[in-house]
Amino acid sequence: MTSASPWIPVALSADIEAGTSAGTLVHGEERVVWRDDKGEIHVWEDRCPHRGMRMSFGFVRGDHIACLYHGWRYDTGGQCRYIPAHPDLDVPQTIKVPTFAATERAGIVWMAQEGADATDLSTLPETAEPVRSLFVDLSTNAALLAVTAAPPEGYRPVESGTGLVTFQGSDVTALIAAQPRDVARTALHITVTGNTSAATRLDLILWATDLRNRLEARSLEAA
Ligand code: FES
């Protein structure tokens, strides 16, 4: 990954099952992450062009997602294909949800910003096991500094890039990818490769939970 990667992590792959959607924030903007019945991942603006309902409240039906409010259906390209109140209407091409290029790598869903190139992610493992996502009330820089300063026991930081920290254990590598939800909130998506036993993952979950508790306590003290 380059030092100016335009890819932003938006979810653990394992958290978005086929036929489901989830809303999230990226730099304060609402996004929906959804997976169609073929397993393809999609990241869009989380706003229906009709009356602005969140698409993440909608229903995934095969390779379409239907808005909760009036049932307008959108294909995987974001194009509206069907309006229940006007079933015979040839829906205008202008009715479309803005979409973003999306991919999966290292057990994480990534959303492209302008200028993204798939090779930006090529240094990451293709797959990884999920640990958990951690939501903290810190800027992304502050969250990554806190993570780097407190590695899990038996791990050492071996690499960091924009929005990314990697810890190396004896037979396991943990990856922490930071999603800037807004200027003061960050999601840390944690995955692991190598020895991905249940015990290893549990240790990392406990480390992450302890880290969040300590960060919350620090925020309360500062308030
Ligand atoms: S707001 Fe989405 S269909 Fe009306």
**Ligand 1 centroid – CA 74 distance (Å):** 11
Q: Is 51 in the pocket of ligand 1 (CB under 6 A)?
A: yes
One-character DSSP codes across 85-109: TSTT----TT-B--EE-EEEETTEE
> How many angstroms does the Cα of residue 8 sit away from the middle of ligand 1?
28
Question: Domain residues of the chain, as ranges?
Answer: 7-119, 128-222
pLDDT in tens, the chain (223 residues): 444 468 999 999 999 999 999 999 999 999 999 999 999 999 999 999 999 999 999 999 999 999 999 999 999 999 999 999 999 999 999 999 999 999 999 999 999 987 677 777 888 999 999 999 999 999 999 999 999 999 999 999 987 777 899 999 999 999 999 999 999 999 999 999 998 899 999 999 999 999 989 888 877 776 6
Contact 172, 195 (CB under 8 A): yes
**Helix crossing, 140-149 with 198-222: angle to 10°?**
120
Q: Tell me whether the CATH fold assigned to 7-119 matches the one assigned to 128-222.
A: no
Q: Is 67 in the pocket of ligand 1 (CB under 6 A)?
A: yes
Domain range 128-222, CATH architecture: 2-Layer Sandwich (3.30)
Q: What is the CATH number of domain 7-119?
A: 2.102.10.10
Please report, for the chain, how many H helices and E strands are present, in that order: 2, 16
Instruction: Give the model's pLDDT for residue 2.
Output: 40
105/40 Cα distance (integer angstroms): 13
Residue 72 near ligand 1, beta carbon < 6 Å: yes
pLDDT of residue 123: 87
218 lines ligand 1 (CB under 6 A): no
